[in-house]
Amino acid sequence: MQKLLLCFLIVISLPSAFSQRDMSKQAFVFPKESGNSYVSLTAQLRKPLTAFTVCLQAYTDLTRDYSLFSYATKKQNNEILLFKGQKGAYSVSVGGADVFFKLPERSPAPMHFCVTWESHSGITELWVDGKPMVRKSLKKGYNVETDASIILGQEQDSFGGGFDKGQSFVGDIGDVNMWDFVLSPDEINNVYQGSIFSPNVIDWQKLKYKAYGEVFIKPQLWS
């Protein structure tokens, strides 16, 4: 009995694990520039990725550089990265290589992004508010590793860290979903309109996450 009680006390005294929550109609709010505020996500991955689609909503008025989605491995900091540079340029990184997409400058408003990539052709797409940018090619024949640290709110310059306050995200991020295949154009447009196609890597409706620093969960402003 004493051993059982001791085991119970040890279990309840462990640090809090990742939470799982239905985040439908909710968003993570990063209210100010910070070097230590971020959200870490847990993905369902069993084998290296030969294709993927990542979709998310973001709302910010930042004019400087910032990270939207950072997926790092111990071998490669920018295994997958969606990053906003200056003057409307967005970069997509796979395996440390980058391609760039130019968007016209516009007034702050919620924006929906989908990134797709497939290994056998290297074809990389960025969709913004349901509209495709010009296709690019990136890391043909590459496999994305699965032992990943997935971060919202910061760019990783090392596995799970190496944050730069000047590249932190300020604003709202939500509807983060990821698949281990490339969604069709019709499916991407349906996701933009609010439909979900059973995400099998990251599921916003069954999100496993842990928040650090000043991060809040609030109703989405774009619902």
Best CA proximity match to 84, nearest among 3, 20, 168, 18: 168
53 has which bridge partners? 116, 179
For residue 11, pLDDT beyond 90: no
Report pTM.
0.90
Contact 28, 21 (CB under 8 A): no
pLDDT of residue 107: 77
Residues 55 and 51: their CA atoms lie apart, in Å, by 14
For residue 113, pLDDT beyond 90: yes
Transcribe 81-136 into DSSP letters: EEEE-STTEEEEEETTEEEEEE-----S--EEEEEEEETTT-EEEEEETTEEPPPE
Convert the pLDDT of each residue in 206-223 to its tens digit: 999 999 999 999 999 997
12-21, 42-51, 110-119, 141-150: which has the minimum mean pLDDT?
A: 12-21
Q: Cβ contacts of residue 88 below 8 Å, gap of 6+?
A: 102, 103, 104, 105
For residue 3, pLDDT beyond 80: no
pLDDT band with cut points at 50, 70 and 90 for residue 17? low
pLDDT of residue 18: 76
Where b means 16+ CB within 10 Å and e means fewer, 77-100 reads bbbbbbbbeeeeebbbbbbeeebe
Provide mean pLDDT across the span 187-199: 92
User: ∠198-109-163 over CA atoms, to 5°?
Assistant: 75
Name the DSSP letter for residue 186: H
Percent of the chain with pLDDT over 90: 83
Helices (H), the chain: 2-13, 185-192
For 192, the 3-state DSSP assignment is helix
14-23, 121-130, 162-171: which has the minimum mean pLDDT?
A: 14-23
Contact 118, 97 (CB under 8 A): no
Provide mean pLDDT across the span 20-45: 95
Contact 176, 43 (CB under 8 A): no
For residue 67, pLDDT beyond 80: yes
Percent of the chain with pLDDT over 70: 92
For residue 138, pLDDT beyond 90: yes
For residue 99, pLDDT beyond 60: yes
- CA 123 to chain CA centroid, Å, is 20
14-18, 61-65, 200-204: which has the minimum mean pLDDT?
A: 14-18
